[in-house]
Amino acid sequence: MPPTLIDETDRINADYARVSDDDRGAAEGVESQHSDNEEFGEEIGRPLAATYQDNSLSAFSGRERPEFQRLLADIARGLIAVVIVWHADRLTRDVREALDIIKLFRAHNVRLYSVQKGGEYNLNRASGRADFIADINQAEKESGHKGERVSLARKRQARTGQHGGGIRRFGWGVPTGRVRSKCLNPKAPLDERVYVDVPVLDMTKHRQDEAAEIRIWAKELLAHGNMAQLMRGIRERGVKTVSEADERKVKRGGKIVDHGGWDAKTITRIVTGPRVSGHAVYKGEIIKADAYPAILPEETRQALIALLSDPARVTTPGNTPKWLISKSTGGSCGQCSAGGMITVRHNSKGPVYRCEVCHKGNQLAPLVDEYVASVAVERLSRSDLVELIKPPRPEVDLAALRADVIELRRRKKEAGLSYARGRIDLETLETVKADTDQQIAKLRAVIAEATAASPLVDFLDTDSVEAAAAVWGTLSVGRRREIVRVLMDVTVLKGDPYELDPDTIRIVPRARHQPRAVSLD
């Protein structure tokens, strides 16, 4: 059944005016449109009784236009007889929305006039509707050209260090105190759209908590290079992703799904991306260096690139270490004449340290770790801790070293292809591979030495055992293992199966800058 209409003599004539960008904020554009609309209304015998104006709001972005929504609501209530606009695109630049407007105007017998057209769009006739849609189509085409101009503007913004909008990056986005209106369902019919206020963020500034987390990631990775240990620490600290922190809904295939949480690929992208060092990026290319305050220094980012892009790294998680002592941290057996190293095994008592050769020791791992940690914390609280930290690393061109490694890997690959094509024999291939592998190993050793961060630096400002213990409590197991490896050699003897006797744990401090074994786990 058609809606009940109020007699046209009881309804009013109104105009609608809108401009997308009002840089000066003076609303001169909408006032100018209104003056022309008002004059046109007098000419056609339809004097205006009301005006609806949206200033500096686009008709093509799905953003809420309060006065436009009020106009549509008044039309639906049967209060409007005539609408005058300066041009059809003042109402909309979206053909689909234009069809909704036609349907609404026809349902409530509202007549539409355009100053630029010089007359009426007769929406009750196919020709009038076609004219209206044609003008909207032209406006949509012009919006496409505008999109190209916007793309160029985004590039200029990136070059000058300005943020062009979009989903915020982890570590960035400080609330400005302002809000903007956002449509939650822009594809819905006009009268069913829902709008919410969302905060306006300054994307050139750090979120201090997230920036601090990124620095922890960098420190952990450079200390032990174990992504699995880092991920475990992130889970234990309850670090939220951007989607979780901002309560964003994640959709796949149009359906809302659970947040996947952190993964190694995301962590790598964040700590190695140019943005983390303050560089402005457009389509993956740095177009302005040092555009923003850096979260990580550029040399740290380059070190992480060298570390995380090394194909020799083991990328499968394996067993994430849970205990402080292992053969890689220098744990040895005090009972074994064969020089066995201790590892953690499980028996009826629980996890125990025992020799991998003679299988002696069998000391409860939690008790041993507690004792070793107490010794480590006491040493870390001393004022002479700085003497254990190796001198500053020499300046190294990490980018050049990385490029050399990549080039050597390319040569090795080419040698393999040459062998497959019969151009070289197997002996030559093996010689080339052995030579390049040796050179790559030397380069990696230089990179590792240059990028290694001392795990002791976090304790330089602690002046008591309590303060050192507090810092120790914030560290991951991987970080603690590195500290133990730097500070001491641990020898485990046979002891009481249920209680710890400190005399059965021999701890020998390492000499300053003494070389240590390379971790293989």
pLDDT digits (tens, 9 = 90+) for 271-284: 988 889 888 776 66
Q: How confident is the model at residue 350, as a pLDDT?
A: 83
Query: What DSSP designation does 393 have?
Result: P
Q: What's the pLDDT at 163?
A: 52
Q: Which of 445, 509, 498, 456 is nearest to 480 (CA)?
A: 456
- Which helix or strand (DSSP H or E) is residue 331 part of? strand 331-333
Distance CA 172, CA 414 (A): 43
Burial class of 427 by CB neighbour count within 10 A (0 to 12, 13 to 18, 19+) = exposed
Answer with the residue of higher pLDDT: 178 or 55: 178
15 or 451, greater pLDDT: 15
Residue 97 makes CB contacts below 8 A (sequence gap 6+) with: 190
Identify residue 459 by its one-letter amino acid code.
F
Instruction: Identify the band that residue 209 occupies on the pLDDT scale cut at 50, 70 and 90.
Output: very high
pLDDT reading at 190 higher than 80:
no
User: In the predicted model, is pLDDT for residue 74 greater than 70?
Assistant: yes
In this prediction, residues 300-304 reach a mean pLDDT of 82
Three-state secondary-structure class, residue 406: helix
Residue 24 vs residue 17, higher pLDDT: 17
Max mean pLDDT range (100-104, 165-169, 431-435): 100-104
Q: Look at residue 339 and tell me whether its pLDDT is greater than 60.
A: yes
Pairing of strands 331-333, 488-492: parallel
C-alpha to C-alpha distance for 116 and 17, rounded to whole angstroms: 13
pLDDT at site 457: 74
Please tell me the pTM assigned to this model.
Answer: 0.47
What per-residue confidence (pLDDT) applies to 521? 31
Confidence band for 127, pLDDT divided at 50, 70 and 90: very high
Token pair, residue 347, equals 């028996």
Q: What is the mean pLDDT of the chain?
A: 78
Tell me what pLDDT residue 16 has.
Answer: 94
Instruction: Say whether pLDDT at 56 is over 60.
Output: no
Taking 60 as the threshold, does the pLDDT of residue 459 lie above it?
A: yes
416 three-class SS: helix
Report DSSP letters for 158-225, one per residue: HHTT----SSPPTTEEEEEEEEEEEES-TTS-GGG--EEEEEEEEEEEE-HHHHHHHHHHHHHHHHH-
Please give the CATH architecture assigned to the domain spanning 8-148: 3-Layer(aba) Sandwich (3.40)
344 three-state secondary structure: strand
Q: Taking 90 as the threshold, does the pLDDT of residue 223 lie above it?
A: no
**259: pLDDT confidence band, cut at 50, 70 and 90?**
low
Beta carbons of 237 and 475 less than 8 angstroms apart: no
The amino acid occupying position 10 is D
Tokens 């008044």 belong to which residue? Answer: 74
456/257 Cα distance (integer angstroms) = 42
Confidence of residue 79 (pLDDT cuts 50, 70, 90): very high
Q: Which fold has domain 162-318?
A: Hect, E3 ligase catalytic domain fold (3.90.1750)
CA dist list (Å): 456 to 372, 385, 387, 480, 486? 16, 8, 11, 10, 8
Q: Exposed e or buried b for every residue in 441-467, given b needs 16+ CB within 10 A?
A: eebbeebbebbbbbbbebbeebeebee
- Predicted pLDDT of residue 157: 57
pLDDT at position 108 is 94
- Provide the pLDDT confidence category of residue 25 given band limits of 50, 70 and 90: very low
Looking at residues 252-269, what average pLDDT do you find? 76
pLDDT at 318: 47
User: What's the pLDDT score for residue 143?
Assistant: 55
Residue 256 bridge partners (DSSP): 251
Q: What pLDDT score does 496 carry?
A: 77
Residue type present at position 492: V
pLDDT recorded at residue 416: 82
Residue range 52-61: mean pLDDT, rounded: 66
What pLDDT does residue 487 have? 87
* Residue 76, CA distances (Å) to 15, 70, 81, 104, 302 in order: 16, 10, 11, 7, 61
Q: What is the pLDDT of residue 317?
A: 45
pLDDT of residue 15: 95
CA distance 22 to 256: 37
Alpha carbon 139 to chain centroid, angstroms: 36
CA pair distance 13, 18, nearest whole angstrom: 17
509 bridge partner residues: 488
Closest-CA residue to 209 (of 247, 169, 171): 171
Looking at the predicted structure, is the pLDDT value of residue 306 above 90? no
Q: At what angle do helices 264-272 and 208-224 cross, to 10 degrees?
A: 100
Q: Of 157, 200, 192, 197, which Cα lies nearest the Cα of 291?
A: 157
Q: How confident is the model at residue 463 (pLDDT cuts 50, 70, 90)?
A: confident
The pLDDT, as a whole number, for residue 515 is 41
The answer on pLDDT for 94 being more than 80 is yes
What does the pLDDT read at residue 356?
Answer: 81
- For the stretch 313-331, pLDDT in tens is 544 444 556 788 876 667 8
Is-contact 46 10, C-beta < 8 A?
no
| Listed range (111-125, 178-192, 421-435) with the worst mean pLDDT | 178-192
Q: Range with the lowest mean pLDDT among 134-138, 415-419, 493-497?
A: 493-497
Give residue-wise pLDDT tens across range 469-481.
Answer: 988 888 878 788 8
The pLDDT of 69-95, averaged and rounded, is: 91
- Average pLDDT (111-124) is 93
Q: What is the pLDDT of residues 381-415, one digit of tens each?
A: 888 887 777 655 556 676 777 778 778 888 888 88
- The residue written with tokens 């500096």 in the block is 56
DSSP string, 120-145: EE-TTSHHHHHHHHHHHHHHHHHHHH
Q: Identify the band that residue 119 occupies on the pLDDT scale cut at 50, 70 and 90.
A: very high
Cβ(36)–Cβ(70) under 8 Å?
no
What is the enclosing helix (H) or strand (E) of 99?
helix 95-107
Asked whether the predicted pLDDT for residue 147 surpasses 60, the reply is no
pLDDT over 90 (residue 48): yes
Q: Which two tokens stand for residue 390?
A: 């190796």
